[in-house]
Structure 1
Amino acid sequence: MKLRKRISARWIAPVLGLALVIPSVLPVPVSAASLKASVQSVEFVGMPAPATTQDMAKIYSSASLKVTYSDNSVKLFPLSYTTMFKTTDSIGGTIAGVSVDAKGKPILDTSVPNDPKPFVSDGPDANSLFQVQGAAATGLGGNPLSMVTHYEYITTNNAGKSAYGLIPASMSYTTIDQNKTTGELHPVTLSKIDFSSVDGLWIPCNGSLSPWNTHLGSEEYEPDARAFEADPKQTYVNPFVQSYYQDPTKVGNPYSYNYIVEVTAHPDNSTSVVKHYSMGRFSHELSKVAPDQKTVYFGDDGGNTMLFMYVADQAKNLSAGTLYAGKWIQKSADNGGSADLQWFKLGHATDNEVKSYIDKGVKFSDLFQSSEKAADGYTAIKSYPTGKVEYLKVKSGMEQAAAFLESRRYGAILGATAEFNKMEGVALNAKDKKLYVAMSYVEKAMEKDTKGTDPSDDIQVNKLSAGVTYEVSLTDGQKDRDGQAINSQYVPTFMKGLVWGEDLSAADSKGNSAAEDKVANPDNLSYSESLRTLFIGEDSGKHVNNFVWAYNTDTKKLSRILTTPAGAEATGLQAVDNLNGFSYIMSNLQHPGDEMIVAESLKPEVEKYINQNFDNKKAGMVGYISGLPSLQQLEQAAPSITPDTTLIPLRETAQAAGAKVVWHGIKKEIVISYHSHTLKVLVGSMIADIDGTMVDLPAQTVLKNGKVVFSASVLHNFLSMN
């Protein structure tokens, strides 16, 4: 056999439950005495819900990761929460959550006479933690990383009045030093991302990291263009643009907002942004890109919302593509129900084509004719944001503009389902071709229309106010409603409830109106391919404390791994499987103490501690769950084992497994072919050739009683290879 790369036999041991990657640079062979056990499985060990008023007023984790090795030994890795910064903190001279105008200057809150202060958000949401190739060193000795963070809105002004939607939102770009030994993340500088080239940023909710390492942000809760045209005061559009441009005479355009925003970070720590108008206008919770790098799925938050899919013309380029809307064809009603999915093609467009309609000043009445009652040629629909029945007809020649500026209304006219309620985060399991969708409250339009007054009633599932996380099957070779092929291998075709909560008939002693040990009102979702785990963050009006959960998609085990202070939402969820050998679960909290449902007997103390911990409810928090072991840490923690020197008949065992066996008598070499893999070994040798890699054997291959006997452990591992 020709000598090639050479490794110890322990490196081909199968890893079950955790897809650890063999390093690209193979290790030098080790002695038998230093062999270690392999990872057999991993699972999260959950934590109890907070029991004291102090714990109910803070964010923490007391969960752990349980690792079982091949020798049946078990090790626990404790988890904890690490705060990176509060939204009120200054990082490198910039307040993290400060709201800025079109010139990048802080927007001042003048609601309290003679005491102007900058508006600072308490609502951090999405995180994208990533590494920019070629980025300069931080000066602190660690690896340079980057993070984009959303600040969704300003809850109140200094006078205590609501400021929601009135003040421009923002994103920050943080440069981070990653400790090369511990993996700890330390923010070094923070700057506000400039959105002046795209008319500002409207209510950015969740977001995701694209496969090509850009941040995909969102703009949620679109202003109703029909209402704006009738009376601009019915929307936030004009106050928003007047604040952003610091011009009290400025008039806005609702069609300028509610798209997916892509942020690209550059090695010099500058950023550039683009709004993808061709991805449709609706209440974007976030977007998630499939492995083909062109199919995109969305959350559409609000009542009477819609399931959308976008297929880009080219991979890694979201500036042109086809937009689809889904129809729910119900199969069952319990636990969120289940349904086949059918897709309507809304249209094809480029960003520039859609933007041209906006630049021309197209209004709602330019797109649709409307009637106050049923009439020939008009379609009755009911959708967000009105929640009322409308009778509409698309004007001739305006189909493309309607499809991309009024995606939900246009989709409803075609027959797509506009009955989803509080559709929040989405996450993707690439290996199993599964999409996960959070429906925070399964109620209202998702229930059967018992009055018979709605234009359609596709969804008729049983009410579950605690919400459901759905699993969606992705399939190749699909056609749309008109029989045209959909150019994607990842088309959603079947949707069913996967994880659901439990409504209580009466609140418990803490104030929970949903079962505390089940998920209530799922919102943020993120999936770890390596851990085979779906992470679920709550935005619950039914749990006193919102939690982050880990759901193993193989074992179906659900574990609570983080708790946030009462009244706060768990946001910014991002599972980071491997950044320079370290893993993280990014997780923020926003608006602590807001609209608490804690029992009245506990409320005064909980509120006192929240005020102490979060600047009198003015500060949100950005951070992560730390303590997840890296690949190297798992290996280092593995117990040493005595090599298995058991020998078994090579030919008989391999053939019984379906392998092909060839004996070369002159060389005394035996060759095993199994699936796409090949094992070669010489009688008398202590090494074997597996797919061109030389593997040290724990025992010599010998000829005994006319049979070649070979290492049992190595052969079984070879026959386990896919």
Structure 2
Amino acid sequence: MMKRKKWSKKALLPVLGFAVLAAAIPGAVSANGEKEGGKGVSVKSVEFVGMPAPATAVQMADLYTTASIKVTYSDGTVKSFPLSYKKLFKTTDKVGNTIAGVAIDAKGNPIMDTSVAGQSVPYVSDDPDSNSLFAVPGAKPTGKGGNPLALVTHYEYITANNSGKSAYGQVPASMSLTTLDQNKTTGELTPVQLKKIDFSGVGGLWIPCNGSLTPWNTHLGSEEYEPDARAFEADKTKTFVGSFSSYYDSSKAENPYAYGFLPEVTVLPDNSTKVVKHYSLGRFSHELGNVAPDMRTVFFGDDGGNTMLFMYVADKAKDLSAGTLYAAKWIQKSAENGGSADLQWIKLGQASDSEIKAIIDKGTKFSDIFETSDAAADGFKAVKVYSSEGNKAEYLKVKPGMEKAAAFLESRRYGAVLGATAEFNKMEGVAINNKDKKVYVAMSYLEKAMEKDSKGADPSDDIQVNKISAGVTYELSLGEEKKDRDGGKIESAYVPYFMKGLVWGEDLPTPDAKGNKAADDKVANPDNLSFSQELRTLFIGEDSGLHANNYVWAYNVDTKKLSRILSLPAGAEATGLMTQDNLNGFSYIMSNIQHPGDEMIVADSLKPEVEKLINQNFENKKSGVIGYIQGVPTKQQMLAAKADETRLVSLGEAVKGGARVFWSHDSDDILLLRETHTLVFRLGAKKATVDGKEVVLSAAPQKVKGQAMLPAALLNDFLRL
């Protein structure tokens, strides 16, 4: 191993001029001094090499990855790309002058937590969720020399107030817009400024869970667990609407029908935002909406028990302000491993946002839409849906002329009245595979209404699959020229017609030594999903009550290989999962954590130490984290890395990448420092040390025209650490 020499202070000469001087020397040469050219080598395969499950208390309390990406080239050679996790900020951090997760009212003022006498503090969320990372054409430079990027982030809820009592759903939620600087050499992201997005024009933001980036570069958010309008009308204290309204804007009338929709956020070049709520996309427990490549068809998650599979087809591409809403009927084919079924679509109605908003604004109540009965009666339909009080059957009849209100304000109840299946359980994330025309949907817990109704107590029993508490991720096949149940043409080439289990977990009969109640080498309770079109990989984030630590997984849809690529602190949920395959030449896997240390199922022998470390790492469990997995190469970078094995670059490239360079010109030894990482190499030697570990080089560093040159592959790997 090359020994690192003792560097004296006099010998540590920062090479500050290389970024400027680099233009005067060859930027890159091959090992024999010739310009590197194409060799006809291509990428044959890409594989995620997974990481072991955490084995110690320290690891179980950490957010980290030791996974990598293995690239095999057409000439048979292999290159490994190590991955690492990069924290952007915690929800409790100030970015600029704003606390990231702070809750605000309609005037933009922080909402204060006065639950402890004499200790009035702002409510700050520990529960970040959805991320949309994108470039805004015409955005102003950051002042840090990189590319300006926008990051929209959800803060889903606040777990508890300062006195320790639950605050879930009671305090208005929020989103932030963070301006990021993207280093042009390394792709590293640095937060520059954060501001809260103004939702006062749409009455505030209800529990925003996951979201997506539309094909036209806007953020499509969500409002989950819509308040039950029937319960509200009977007793206002049975929903969070009153608490929400008192905190957000007490001057406005309380109305449950104002919430439960998808907001769309447009970021403008001057860093301002425009927000609209899409009332025509239906009202239910929106986990998220994801738009197909036709820019018209939208697929949804509907979280909760006894929920429904919906689809929306917009009248116009890139415009979600008007369209047709459909609900699915499950026609079962098999029961094993999540089961399989044909899907039949039932048209609920066609409407515009403005039509539905007008119905809401005139104060429409549940009793204006439905007649109800306490028992079976002629003309009444028995339904059992998520909103049903006490999870009991309801007997409903739509009042004449109120079909449109029912379709878009009570989408799940109306769908059930028309015969759609309302038996899905914990329907979560949605991702789209454009090339294969597949949609992936996570069902976190395969139980309850999805099992066979052995007692015959439910109004319907379409879904009768075998119980898997660890959950299933489904694959839906998409087709064109499909018709709805009544023979009407569905104006989309992306209509789901068949659904089957793709990735499923395994329940354990008894917990293992770490406390796991489901197999630790398989996905348990899938939640967030995202699909990389370039890597042909489905990413799955967990929200598990069955794993001691939740994970993010990579599932290759061609090889069917499943790899663990991120481990979360015990009790934390993986959220904000989003892939960007090529953003200014760099790829990212965004991934946040919520509520670290919450409701841990860690074995008693480990729990005290794990809990102590989580409290140290995450401000006594009050901080969620926003960040990403870095080191994911684009296809162009994979090819460049192959060429870089012998291509040499100047030390100026190291300076551009954020490294400090120390080189006494009378010595052949050179030291690079970047954050906590070190690289030491010697001119003419084919070995180097990175963070004290020896690496073997394909080409030796050289001195060219008085300037030190090192292998580009070595430098790029170092800058990705």
**Is TM more than 0.5 here?**
yes
Match of 1:478 in 2: 482
Report the Cα distance in structure 1 between the residues aligned to 2:422 and 2:361, rounded to whole angstroms.
Answer: 28
- SS of the aligned residue for 2:357 comes to helix
Q: Which amino acid in 2 is paired with 1:464?
A: I
In the aligned structure 1, how far is the partner of 2:387 from the partner of 2:377? Answer: 23
Summarize the alignment of residues 44-193 of structure 1 with structure 2, pairs less than 5 Å apart: 44-193=48-197
- CA separation in 2, counterparts of 1:505 and 1:489? 44
Q: Distance in 2 between matches of 1:31 and 1:241?
A: 66
Q: Is the 8 A contact 2:537 2:554 kept in 1?
A: yes
Measured against aligned partners, the alpha-carbon deviations of 1:409-467 in whole angstroms (never above 9, x if no partner) come to: 00000000000000000000000000000000000000000000100000000000000
d(CA) in 2 for partners of 1:32, 1:293: 42
Tell me whether 1:332 sits opposite 2:363 in the alignment: no
CA distance in 2, matches of 1:419, 1:45: 37
Task: Give the match for residue 285 of structure 2.
Answer: 283
Per-residue CA deviations over 1:317-374 (Å, capped at 9, x if unaligned) read 0000000000000000000000000000000000000001100000000000000000
User: In the alignment, is residue 221 of structure 1 matched against residue 225 of structure 2?
Assistant: yes
Task: State the Cα deviation string for residues 183-233 of structure 1 (Å, max 9, x = none).
Answer: 000000000000001010000000000000000000000111000000000
The TM-score normalised by the length of structure 2 is 0.84
Partner of 1:412: 416
Q: Is 1:572 paired with 2:596?
A: no
Q: Distance in 2 between matches of 1:162 and 1:33?
A: 62
- Which structure 2 residue ranges, 5 or more long, are not aligned? 1-33, 647-721
Counterpart of 2:438, as a letter, is K
What is the CA–CA distance in structure 2 between the aligned matches of 1:472 and 1:635, rounded to whole Å? 33
Equivalent AA in structure 2 for residue 227 of structure 1: A
SS at match of 2:142: coil
**Deviation string, structure 1 residues 363-397 (Cα, Å, up to 9, x no partner):** 00000000000000000000012221000000000
1:636 shift after superposition: 2.3
Residues 1:241 and 2:245 aligned together: yes
Name the SS for the 1:204 alignment partner: coil
Per the alignment, residue 321 of structure 1 pairs with 323
In structure 2, distance between residues paired with 1:584 and 1:32: 28
1:257 aligns with 2:268: no
Query: What amino acid maps onto 2:419 in structure 1?
Result: G
Letter in 2 for 1:286: L
* Partner residue, 1:697: none
* One of 447, 454, 464 as aligned partner of 1:450: 454
1:631 CA displacement: 3.5
CA contact (8 A) 1:38 1:638 kept: no
Matched, 1:350 2:352: yes
Q: Who is 1:696 aligned against?
A: none
Pick aligned residue for 2:524 from 520, 531, 546: 520
Q: 1:138 to 1:508 in 2, by over 3 A?
A: same
* Residue 632 of structure 1: how far off its partner (Å): 3.8
Q: How many residues align?
A: 611
Cα deviation 1:22-42 (Å, max 9, x = unaligned): xxxxxxxx9897625221110
Residues 469-548 of structure 1: pairs in structure 2 closer than 5 A: 469-548=473-552
Amino acid of the structure 1 residue aligned with 2:259: Y
Q: Secondary structure at the match of 2:243?
A: helix
SS at match of 2:125: coil
Partner AA of 2:194 in structure 1: L
Report the CA distance between 1:484 and its aligned residue: 0.4
Partners of 1:288 and 1:225 in 2: how far apart? 26
Provide the secondary structure at the position in 2 that maps to 1:262: strand
Residue of structure 2 equivalent to 1:6: none
Deviation digits for residues 213-262 of structure 1 (CA, Å, limit 9, x no counterpart): 000000000111000000000000011011112x3x76410000010100
What's the offset of the Cα at 1:630? 2.8
CA contact (8 A) 2:127 2:624 kept: yes
Q: CA deviation digits over 1:91-113, x for unaligned, max 9? A: 01000000000000000000010
Answer yes or no: is the 8 Å Cα contact 1:300–1:423 preserved in 2. yes
Task: State the identity %.
Answer: 73
Looking at structure 1, the residues matched to 303 and 36 of structure 2 have their Cα atoms a distance apart, in angstroms, of: 57
When normalised by structure 1's length, the TM-score is 0.84
Match of 2:195, SS state, is: strand
Spell out, residue by residue over 1:668-689, the C-alpha distance to the aligned partner (whole angstroms, 9 max, x if none): xxxxxxxxxxxxxxxxxxxxxx
Q: CA deviation at 1:638?
A: 1.2
Report if the CA contact (8 A) 1:36-1:640 is conserved: no
2:450 and 2:509 mapped to 1: Cα distance?
A: 21
Equivalent-residue separation in structure 1 for 2:641 and 2:175 (angstroms): 39
Q: Distance in 2 between matches of 1:33 and 1:374?
A: 78
Q: Residue 211 of structure 1 aligns with which residue?
A: 215
Residue 565 of structure 2 corresponds to residue 561 of structure 1: yes
SS in 2 for 1:400: helix
State the distance in 1 between where 2:59 and 2:579 align: 25
User: 1:128 is aligned with what amino acid?
Assistant: S
Q: Are residues 633 and 640 of structure 1, via their aligned partners in 2, closer, same or farther at CA, if it must alter by over 3 Å?
A: closer
Residue equivalent to 1:587 = 591
C-alpha distance 641-84 of structure 1, shift in aligned 2 (>3 A): closer
User: 1:310 and 2:307 equivalent?
Assistant: no
Change (3 A) 1:110 1:481: same
| Structure 1 residue 362 corresponds to structure 2 residue 347 | no
